[in-house]
Structure 1
Amino acid sequence: LAGMDTWHTPLGEAATAQVREAFFRLTDYPPEDGENVPSAVLDLGGGRILYVPKSLKGVAVFSFKRLCAEARGASDYLAIAREYHSVIVVGIPRMGPENRNEAARFVTLIDALYENKVKLLATADAEPEELYVEGNGRFEFERTVSRLREMQSADYLALGHGES
């Protein structure tokens, strides 16, 4: 990931094209066969599973909606963080009090990825500092902004998966 941008904004065709290219670089999968990228089913424990739309060579692609708009908990995100060294999340919106549950899940997701040194690539509606700008929950989001910035740093990107 050295020299590669990991946070792509605003949402749209250009951002999608950039993470698509990154996926193919990370997996050595031929872009011309992009329609046939394997999917996976991740065992979350307790008889629960999570469908992973694109899963190849330790790289997973998810939509923000699949990860944060559905009922998920820390154990789900830890399962993802243990299984994948790189995660691409597409469609991260701006958030506020009206979607506080999604924001709280996003915070938990980022904590799990960060603590397991998972590389994050994303398409988002805004830079991290602008994702949750006002209202109840903004203060709690500050640590997540800091982690998102650190996760873009060369030092973080050089760490091995799961390294402390």
Structure 2
Amino acid sequence: PVYYSPLGSAADAAMDAAWARFISGAREHEDRIEVKGRTLVAHRTARGAARFDFDELCARALGASDYLALTRRYGTLFLDNIPQMNPSMRDRAIRFITLVDTLYDTKTKLVCSADADPDALYVAGDGSFEFERTASRLIEMRSEGYLAAEHAAKTETPAAG
């Protein structure tokens, strides 16, 4: 599985186990990516993957260029604690939509924990229509075909240090 829901200790344990399997004993390290004069810090990276909390990527003023830089560096992204969103979280939801679009377009793998299944991640109301495509993409990103697809972003090697 690559999508763990609902949030809680079971999802946390499943994410930790998935991360441990993926990095297969490799040493985690911090990585810094320069994007348009800003530094994006990935605190947990190993074996071509990075692990973030939802708020690290969607509660801050980040956009498509930041997310594209991540996909150029990592073929797999682990994203913890995706909340169920509503119109009061519109900015975070828009960033999440942009993140998912970028991951999808570059065939970057996503392993995540979320408060609800994809089609229930955004409650009815302003913004729910825009989220429908994101839910559909999240469902497709769990499919064997998507997971078997080659990562489409040009991967950069992180600088040593």
TM-score by length of 2: 0.91
- Paired position in structure 2 for 1:123: 113
Q: Structure 1 residue 69 and structure 2 residue 59: aligned?
A: yes
TM-score of the pair, normalised by structure 1: 0.90
Question: Distance in 2 between the 1:162 and 1:19 partners?
Answer: 24
The 5-angstrom pairing of residues 38-57 of structure 1 reads 38-44=29-35, 46-57=36-47
Counterparts in 2 of 1:105-144, with a 5 A limit? Answer: 105-144=95-134
Cα distance in 2 for residues equivalent to 1:27 and 1:62: 15
Q: Residue 37 of structure 1: CA displacement?
A: 2.4
Q: Does 1:91 align with 2:81?
A: yes
SS at match of 1:29: coil
- Take 1:38 and 1:13, find their aligned partners in 2: how far apart are those partners? 25
Amino acid of the structure 2 residue aligned with 1:38: H
**SS, match of residue 29 in structure 2:** coil
Deviation beyond 4 Å, 4+ runs, structure 1: none
Which ranges in structure 1 are unaligned for 5 or more consecutive residues?
31-35
Of 12-21 and 105-114, the range deviating more from structure 2: 12-21
- Where structure 2 has 5 or more consecutive residues not aligned to the other structure, the ranges are 154-161
Aligned length: 153
C-alpha RMSD over aligned residues: 1.2
Aligned AA for 2:140? E
Tell me which residue corresponds to 1:145. Answer: 135
